[in-house]
Structure 1
């Protein structure tokens, strides 16, 4: 009896309600309406209106198909930024350093976090010239090689949630059928190669780091520049091969047994 009283001493009903919603939504596919949430938790729908509104505004839950609530990837993103990401960076560092040496190019590791592609590690080019992006930089999902890869190697449902999270913090974009066809092409080919939409003369080369389930947990990217004063430097075709080999090694360390194109 005393233990039960101690356990209830610091009750927080509102917090419990929010956690109940998050746990419920994490267990279903396709989301639930407010009425369905209330029914499953054996509560009145009115009890959840304000809590759902706050969870949506804070980015933990999103509305899909008009009136259905679905869990976003925010909790996943928060978890990623702790020990798993530190381990990923520790695995990636020697591989990225070797990639820079063999390709003569800088490279960076990018993950999806709360609506953006975020650079979590970068390796400078070993010689005079290279393009680097600062660790912690947030880049677009829609017009970068890293963003395309992170979207291409996710399930349609995850892709939909990632796009919804991204659009919450940016202006609305009209994503065309051609854009989604491009993602399918990236997935089929195994990597993205595109002219940079931010810097002239740079090509974004990006390939996925895959987890055990075959989904992209990160994108390994080279902002490729042609070194005109270095005729022995690897060309773009050989650089892509080096990039894919590095990503495949990192994917193996991350637990993937999915073969990658080379």
Structure 2
């Protein structure tokens, strides 16, 4: 069947959303010409919209006269949703205790379509560590956090996520991912070498609410001489911390699910 025609149209809103969605997926700032090509509209059609979005701080130009990139404003608005705010407020005290115990950083990750996004972090108490900025995104299939989120979903949700992932990455090896998430479920956490930084192992454990993971608690583990805890003990501390957040969510207000 052909796609259903929308009952109402708001051309200006469509135009603005097209621009924001294009910039959100871009890996570098885009010029007016690139935005024009990307949304299939003329420069004249998008010029005023770019001005308004810039004035409202949804997009910005680094030098005031160059290419456009999206700002964290939309992310901050999303963080004000009660489910997200409750999740972060519940997890942060536990994350601070975990970082102090393991002397490493940790961060909290939620799903966002075919990607994961970092919504909170705690820096390591010492002078050495790897931190991941809040708002950082990666494909689900290229992160330990994503594998954990996949591993602890219902079959229906996992199937839907795979559909989105394959749409954006058709060459994805689904069988390999399914074998990996089965191992992760048996182990209770993911232990995967970082795809981004050599010498870092991403440890990630699920925060469970109801029958699925609402987020993943992740430690980018760095092996250091003289460290208080090795990877095995750090993994145990991480799993215990994720379980603690899960318990607190289950006794808190309903409606915190992100899926």
Q: TM-score, normalised by structure 2?
A: 0.66
User: What is the DSSP-based 3-state SS (H/G/I as helix, E as strand, rest coil) of the residue aligned with 2:132?
Assistant: coil
Q: 1:210 to 1:117 in 2, by over 3 A?
A: same
1-structure distance, mates of 2:101, 2:201: 17
- Contact 1:111–1:118 (CA<8 Å) still a contact in 2? yes
| Residue-by-residue CA offset, 1:162-212 (whole Å, 9 max, x unaligned) | 2323444x342322412211111111211000111111000010000000x
For residue 188 of structure 1, what is the aligned residue in structure 2?
186
For residue 101 of structure 1, what is the aligned residue in structure 2?
100
For residue 225 of structure 1, what is the aligned residue in structure 2?
222
User: What is the DSSP-based 3-state SS (H/G/I as helix, E as strand, rest coil) of the residue aligned with 2:4?
Assistant: helix
2-structure distance, mates of 1:49, 1:214: 34
For residue 132 of structure 2, what is the aligned residue in structure 1?
133
| Residue-by-residue CA offset, 1:205-224 (whole Å, 9 max, x unaligned) | 0000000x220000000000
**Aligned pairs (5 A) from 1:159-174:** 159-168=158-167, 170-174=168-172
For residue 113 of structure 2, what is the aligned residue in structure 1?
114
Higher alpha-carbon Rg: 1
1-structure distance, mates of 2:147, 2:120: 18
User: What is the DSSP-based 3-state SS (H/G/I as helix, E as strand, rest coil) of the residue aligned with 1:130?
Assistant: coil
* 1:237 maps to 2:235: no
| Residue-by-residue CA offset, 1:53-93 (whole Å, 9 max, x unaligned) | x9xxx99xxxxxxxxxxxxxxxxxx9886111101100111
1-structure distance, mates of 2:154, 2:92: 28
1-structure distance, mates of 2:138, 2:101: 26
> What are structure 1's unaligned runs of at least 5 residues?
1-33, 35-45, 60-77, 257-262
2-structure distance, mates of 1:120, 1:224: 19
Q: 1:110 to 1:81 in 2, by over 3 A?
A: farther
- Contact 2:207–2:243 (CA<8 Å) still a contact in 1? yes
Number of equivalent positions: 187
User: What is the DSSP-based 3-state SS (H/G/I as helix, E as strand, rest coil) of the residue aligned with 1:164?
Assistant: helix
* 1:49 maps to 2:4: yes
Deviating above 4 A after TM superposition, structure 1's stretches of 4 or more consecutive aligned residues are 78-81
* 1:214 maps to 2:180: no
1-structure distance, mates of 2:215, 2:148: 8
**Aligned pairs (5 A) from 1:246-261:** 246-255=241-250
User: What is the DSSP-based 3-state SS (H/G/I as helix, E as strand, rest coil) of the residue aligned with 1:246?
Assistant: helix
From 199, 211, 215, the equivalent of 1:201 is 199
Q: TM-score, normalised by structure 1?
A: 0.65
> What are structure 2's unaligned runs of at least 5 residues?
10-17, 22-76, 252-259
- Contact 1:227–1:233 (CA<8 Å) still a contact in 2? no
